[in-house]
A and B are shown apart, each in its own frame.
Chain A
């Protein structure tokens, strides 16, 4: 995956630079118009929109308390007795006699939260590292260049470790909890964002308008903060959309490995899916509901992200 990621990142950077350099100003708007015409983007957008609505409204529209073991006496997990869908419980009961439908609806919020916070952690820390490296490399002289080289090689090594393993090491360190999952998945994204932002900034730094600003004597710090940084964020936002999907899936995998959110107070799809693996042959529905939720949501974010990437990529554009 490493190289795929790196290549994609590089391509994204090029795309945004050429978009910037075209300096038509309307290019972003043009991209957006193209997005609206892409079936991928529209499908992804609808899925993501629905998901966000459910996540926000979930607790208000859920028919039952998602954590109350109201029907606890009807479920016998040691005998494979799991009441299925019925008028009162549309998706049936889970293994402790809680309403599955309500758990799904309310769980959307936690799932979104995990995805968003993890992505934010990766984004902020990654952007900081990448930004420092790029700034040092560009304006820090020889020592700055060395610093940049060391930072970036370490990032390369970190990028080389499978994301799941990185997340796993962090989770082992912090013990299982919801914040562990967010941090673990977030930390695993840091190298991606670091590399992306640094590459993006370097590309901007060598663009004509920055050279022009330097020759005009604009202070270096101001160039970085008010010109390079804002213009480098485009590809980062695209990447963040894609990372959100990954984060949701990784969180489920961490739960499966027993490092996930063990708090029964707040249903979350990844934990629900991992939990339900035990009952897969006796009561597959317990796994299928959260699995479908995760897959569809991840697909929504991926479709949206890929469509945004394509609409930015001039190489894909020109063949139309």
Chain B
């Protein structure tokens, strides 16, 4: 096991190094120097030249790469072109919003997805099954930015039930503990803040949950079907155990393993959806930061984000692989 872990870690560091090289090459190859973002359109050529020279891009390329790598390891991704603040600070400031949104979306996806998937499996071949499956397929087919915008137009703009933007009403006097506003409100006893935050969360969370919900419904359905077909469930059935016992002790417990794995991994993947959702709702998390960075071609910000996300994913993947190894000896053997 230890050897396996070390081997995986080594392979991963090589892969990460490769990725950093790719990212650096990408950054170097990007069109348009930063001076074009930093200066107004009628700045003189001389001013542009001055800035280009001052940004010091005349070092040998390997020195630049080493510098880039050294800084990246220290989480120094340079400063954002649009705000002038260090990219790492910007990311850290906005992370809690995205975490809160992702958790809320996941709550919806899990809370609805597992029961739906289970029911679909139990009633396989019925209309309920068909609706759940095609509904979940439909969920993956709606462009998320369109879904988010429609939700906002209908429920916030036309019906006025929920707020349109932000995480809290402007000027709300909240106490920052964890950065998750709902949680903070509950911890400090400011229930009106918590409720305000919940209202602001609902629409973006629903939009963001569409894809994980679809995935969870289908995975749950497939896992339950798998487990139901296993011999031990048939045995239990034949033994005449009560259906509720079979469901609880045998079917769901075993079906949960793949579902739980998926949930952990989906949480990370929500970032991509958050880019689109947050921009629609001006949610002020990492997502809207990246959206802004993209539209303004704020490359240092983008690069910092991609690097952080890549490392995040790689670590999660590693942990998942390792836990598989621990749980299932066959994996170790196969590797």
Direct contact of A and B (CB under 8 A): yes
Q: A39-B130, A162-B309, A253-B144 are contacts. A150–B11 as well, Cβ < 8 Å?
A: yes
Q: Give the distance to chain A from B111, nearest Cβ to Cβ, in Å.
A: 19
Alpha-carbon distance between A253 and B280 when the two chains are bound, in angstroms:
12
Q: Chain A contacts of B215 at CB under 8 A?
A: 1, 4
Q: Chain B contacts of A223 at CB under 8 A?
A: none
Q: Is the CB of B225 within 8 A of A316?
A: yes
Q: Is the CB of B310 within 8 A of A3?
A: no
Contact of A172 among B219, B299, B310 (CB under 8 A): B299
Query: Would you call the interface of chain A mostly helix, strand, loop, or mixed?
Result: helix
B26 part of interface (Cβ distance < 8 Å): yes
A132 part of interface (Cβ distance < 8 Å): no
Q: Chain B contacts of A153 at CB under 8 A?
A: 11-12, 14-15
Q: Is the CB of A2 within 8 A of B145?
A: no
Alpha-carbon distance between A158 and B26 when the two chains are bound, in angstroms:
14
Residue of A2, A252, A315 with highest tally of chain B CB at under 10 A: A2
Q: Is the CB of B317 within 8 A of A156?
A: yes
Q: Is the CB of B141 within 8 A of A257?
A: no
Alpha-carbon distance between A154 and B30 when the two chains are bound, in angstroms:
22
B83 part of interface (Cβ distance < 8 Å): no
A256 part of interface (Cβ distance < 8 Å): yes
B252 part of interface (Cβ distance < 8 Å): no
Q: Give the distance to chain A from B217, nearest Cβ to Cβ, in Å.
A: 12
Q: Chain B contacts of A306 at CB under 8 A?
A: 137
A84 part of interface (Cβ distance < 8 Å): no
Q: Is the CB of A258 within 8 A of B309?
A: no
Q: Chain A contacts of B153 at CB under 8 A?
A: 280-281, 284
8 Å CB interface, A113-154 against B: 149-150, 153-154
A104 part of interface (Cβ distance < 8 Å): no
Contact of A277 among B14, B149, B268 (CB under 8 A): B149
The interface-forming segment of B89-97, B198-206, B241-249, B259-267 is B259-267
The interface-forming segment of A14-22, A26-34, A233-241, A290-298 is A290-298
Q: Give the distance to chain B from A226, nearest Cβ to Cβ, in Å.
A: 28
| Binary interface encoding of chain A residues 205-241 relative to chain B, with 1 for a CB under 8 A from any of its CBs, else 0 | 0000000000000000000000000000000000000
B142 part of interface (Cβ distance < 8 Å): yes
Q: Chain B contacts of A277 at CB under 8 A?
A: 145-146, 149
Q: Is the CB of A161 within 8 A of B14?
A: no
A172 (CB) vs chain B CBs: closest residue: B30
Alpha-carbon distance between A162 and B270 when the two chains are bound, in angstroms:
9
Residue of B19, B266, B272, B317 with highest tally of chain A CB at under 10 A: B272
Q: Is the CB of A172 within 8 A of B229?
A: no
Q: Chain A contacts of B282 at CB under 8 A?
A: none
Q: Is the CB of A160 within 8 A of B137?
A: no
Contact of B146 among A39, A149, A287 (CB under 8 A): A287
Contact of B265 among A3, A249, A257, A303 (CB under 8 A): A3
Alpha-carbon distance between A163 and B271 when the two chains are bound, in angstroms:
11
Additional 19 contacts, C-beta under 8 A, given A249-B141, A287-B149: A1-B215, A1-B269, A2-B269, A3-B265, A40-B133, A150-B14, A160-B316, A162-B309, A164-B275, A165-B271, A172-B297, A172-B299, A175-B31, A256-B276, A257-B291, A281-B157, A295-B141, A302-B137, A319-B124
Chosen A-B contacts, 19 in total, with CB atoms closer than 8 Å, are A1-B211, A1-B269, A2-B269, A157-B12, A165-B271, A165-B275, A168-B302, A169-B306, A173-B29, A249-B143, A252-B145, A252-B146, A256-B276, A277-B149, A280-B153, A291-B143, A291-B146, A299-B137, A316-B225
